[in-house]
Amino acid sequence: MAVTAAKSVMAFRVLTMAVDLCRLTTRTMNVNAGHERTSKARIIHQIQLIRGITHETPLLARIIHQIQLIRGITLTLAMKEPQKPALYIRFN
């Protein structure tokens, strides 16, 4: 039972980090309210917690893989150039 709960907590932390990283890279956070800085600190803290809790456990490889996937997704988002909105002129 405790193992299942620990897996759920880890999955939630990884999911939360993925959402935060995506929001940071797509700039959908309110920077003026300091959310960007707070989220970066929270992401770093969550990674430190995961590393500490999962040190030498069977979940470590799975969590590292998830973090690598998250990094890959967010790097792809960050590297894409913003697209210019298309301008359509309609003549009647």
Residue (of 33, 11, 13) closest to 21 by Cα position: 13
The enclosing H or E element of 52 equals helix 35-53
Does a structural domain hold residue 92? Answer: no
Domain span at 43:
2-79
13: Cβ–Cβ under 8 A, 6 or more apart, which residues? 46, 49, 50
Does a structural domain hold residue 85? Answer: no
Does a structural domain hold residue 44? Answer: yes
Chain centroid offset of residue 46 CA = 11
Does a structural domain hold residue 36? Answer: yes
Does a structural domain hold residue 87? Answer: no
Q: What local confidence, expressed as pLDDT, does residue 26 receive?
A: 60
pLDDT by 10s per residue, the chain, length 92? 556 666 677 777 777 777 766 666 665 555 555 555 566 666 766 666 666 655 555 666 667 767 776 666 555 544 455 555 555 555 54
Q: What local confidence, expressed as pLDDT, does residue 77 receive?
A: 47
Q: What local confidence, expressed as pLDDT, does residue 25 receive?
A: 60
Total domains, the chain = 1
pTM higher than 0.75, yes or no? Answer: no
43: Cβ–Cβ under 8 A, 6 or more apart, which residues? 17, 20, 21, 24
CA separation (Å) from 88 to 14, 81, 85, 91?
Answer: 41, 21, 10, 10
